[in-house]
Amino acid sequence: MTRYLLRRLAFALITLWVVVTVAFFLARAVPGGPFDGQRRLPPAVEANLRAAYHLDEPLLGQYVRYLGMLSRGDLGPSFRQKDFSVNELIAQGLPISLAVGGSALALALSLGVVGGTFAALARNRPRDRLLVVVATLGLAFPPIIVGPVLVLVFAVLLGWLPAGGYDSAKHYVLPVAALSLPYAAAFTRLARGSVAEVLARPHVRTARAKGLAPWRLVVRHVLPSALVPVISFAGPAAAALLAGSMVIEEVFSLPGLGRYFVQGALNRDYTLVTGAVVVYAALVLACNLLADLCHMRLEPRLRRG
């Protein structure tokens, strides 16, 4: 098991390195630089700037320097946000993204498991059909539609919740709701399928026939195995959630990692973009590792592997 874990970890690190390398060279392959503006800087000024950010060194040297810094956890200075280092910016943005993305994932997962189990227990009865249609509908409403509509209804028309910002917990209600909807739908469909599959297994059918209370049956006999595919999906779902969370941060003007990433890309802030990619990739890889771990705990057969 330890060997398996170590292998996965090594694999994750290699993946991370590939992503960092691609992002690093992609950012620097673009025509135009981070110091472009309406006027060109006097050559003496530009030379000073380039030297300050080590842009005057050969590209490979810059890359080696960057990897060295990265191994010390230093993401370098921001090219455009001159008063901040990338570490400071990410330290500011990451908690917000984690709060929104994490809550949305948790909400989606719990809604999905509850809804899916409920539907599977009532398989092919009207409420199951209804839930399936609702879940399929949920998939059809990506955050770019739900986000603006929620703002219009709950913030502007009703005035119940704030339209943007991140000052208190209630600022997170609308973004989390908008972001989690399609994932809740996806988890519901997944959980419904896997719970139904487990319900059909002989030992569960026996237990059911013996008259075990439905909720006990579910908690004790069904969920432990039915959760396996659901948990495994949480890893890739975290990756998929990223794009949605960028949109959501835009809609609700949340200063999260996604904003830094998009702004950094548009403004050619090389270090900020690469830094955001590193953190995002590390997060997603960590999610996948954790999903693997949960998977192993739930699926004892794997422990030997």
Partner 1 sequence: MLFEFPRPAACRPAGARQILAALAAALALAAPGAELRIGNGGEPLTLDPHRYNLNLEEKLLADLFEGLTALDADGRVVPGAAESWNVAEDGLVWTFRLRRNGRWSDGAPVTAADFVYSFRRLLDPRTAASLAHFLYAIDGAAAVNGGKAPPANLGVRAVDARTLEIRLAKPFPFLAERLVYPTGYPVPKHVVEKLGDAWTKPGSMVSNGAFTLADWQPQGFVRLAKNPRFHAAQTVRLQAVRYYPTADRNAAYSRYRNGELDIIGDFPPGELDWLRRELPDHVRLSPLLSIMYLVFNVARPPFDDPRVRRALALALDRQLITSRVLESGEVPSPSFVPPLVAGYQSAVRPEGPDRDIARSLLAEAGYDAENSLRVTLRYIAGADSKKVQVAIAALWKSIGVETILHHAEMNAHFAELRQGNFEVAQAGWFGENNPEQYLELLMSTTGEVNYGRFADAQVDALMARAKETAQLDARLALLQQAEVQALALNPVVPLYSVTIRSLVRPDIDGWRANPRNIHPARYLGLSGD
Partner 2 sequence: MAEALLGSALARICCGVLAAVALSAVFGPWFSPWEFDAIDWDAIDAAPSAAHWFGTDGVGRDLLVRTLSGARVSIVIAVSATAVSCLIGIPWGAVAGYLGGHADQAMMRVVDGLYALPFILLVILLVALFGRNIFLLFIALGAVSWLDLARIVRGQTLAAKNEAYVDAARALGVGTIGIVLRHIVPNVRGPALVYATLTVPGVIIAESFISFLGLGVQEPQTSWGVLIADGSREMHSSPWQLIFPACLLAATLFAFNVLGDRLRDALDAGR
State the minimum distance, in angstroms, from the CB of residue 1 to partner 2: 19
Residue 144 interacts with, from partner 1, partner 2, none (CB under 5-8 Å by kind): partner 2
Distance CA 94, CA 280 (A): 9
* Cβ–Cβ under 8 Å, residues 108 and 184: yes
Q: Taking CB under 8 A as the criterion, which residues in 126-145 touch partner 1?
A: none
**Which residue, 100 or 285, has its beta carbon nearer to partner 2?**
285
Residue 44 interacts with, from partner 2, partner 1, none (CB under 5-8 Å by kind): partner 1
**Which residue, 197 or 250, has its beta carbon nearer to partner 1?**
250
Residue 109 interacts with, from partner 1, partner 2, none (CB under 5-8 Å by kind): partner 1
State the minimum distance, in angstroms, from the CB of residue 158 to partner 2: 14
Place of tokens 């969920």: 223
Distance CA 217, CA 225 (A): 12
Q: How far apart are the first and last CA of the chain?
A: 7
Q: Is 85 exposed, middle or buried (0-12, 13-18, 19+ CB in 10 A)?
A: middle
Residue 21 interacts with, from partner 2, partner 1, none (CB under 5-8 Å by kind): none
Distance CA 133, CA 139 (A): 10
Q: Is 38 exposed, middle or buried (0-12, 13-18, 19+ CB in 10 A)?
A: exposed
Contacts of 130 (CB under 8 A, 6+ apart): none
Which residues contribute to the site for partner 2 (CB under 8 A)?
A: 11-12, 14-15, 19, 22-23, 26-27, 29-30, 133, 136-137, 139-142, 144-145, 147-149, 152, 156, 235-236, 239, 242-244, 246-247, 250-251, 261-262, 265-266, 268, 273, 276-277, 280-281, 284-285, 288
